[in-house]
Structure 1
Amino acid sequence: MVGDRFYIIDAGHGVGHQIRKARLGNWEDFAAGPLDALQGVFLTHLHSDHTVDLANILIAGIASNGLGKVAQPVQVWGPGPRGELPTLFGPAPAPPVTSPENPTPGTADMIQQFGQHLRHRHQRPGLRHPDADPYQPVHRVTTCRCRPA
């Protein structure tokens, strides 16, 4: 917490439940909060145990829970693409590469996929398109690939 705003450090399974348990944000109106007080999200790395609920926060939060009512978009900070796959661990052969053109996507790629999913869902009949822009400002955090000397 910083003043009346809060930040999420990693968005693993259950982060939404923890926000509610801590009673962060607006609790007078379910549609108005608690994400109305979310200032930013920081991802330390892109393993699923640190990112699996980010889509829930950003996508569900736009339609309800207050994220669609914030004055400025919530900013997301996280690593960019690594550019190369890690060295194979264990016996060969290596599993096939899912996306050879982008084998190690970064945070911005992940957020872009959320936006595509949101647009696709809201093109179906009977679903209301949210007023908020599904793309959140994403900042690439450069990491050091330090190796022992």
Structure 2
Amino acid sequence: MKLPDSTPPSPEPPPSGGIGVVGPCAAGKTTLVEGLRARGLPARQIAQEHSYVADMWRRIGRPEVLVFLDASFEACTRRKRLDWLPREYEEQQRRLAHARVHCHVFVATDALTPEDVLRRVLDSLGEPDRATAP
């Protein structure tokens, strides 16, 4: 006699597509996502920097386009007044390595304003006309 399979069904995968944004803490992810959404683009932050799973950005976020915002330890610490050690920043960079290799758009944000970051991402996405707020 065969018993019914008691394995619960897998949950539905999250919706795919849109723009996923990753990077270390205080690189500008939240600000960029807000700017993209304000211009009608589907964007969301993916907290890859906190995950031990190298490709969590792909498993959970499943973005059509992956944007990687990078910032130095010094810039991140200054922006958010973070009380962290260089080794914690380095661990975030390690966790972000897979996403960095696979990103479609990479922006180093240290010397840029939030508006500059948004403009560079929009240009990279072929959306330069959306650079001005609606």
TM-score (norm 1): 0.29
Which structure is richer in relative contact order (CA contacts within 8 A, separation 6 or more)?
Answer: 2
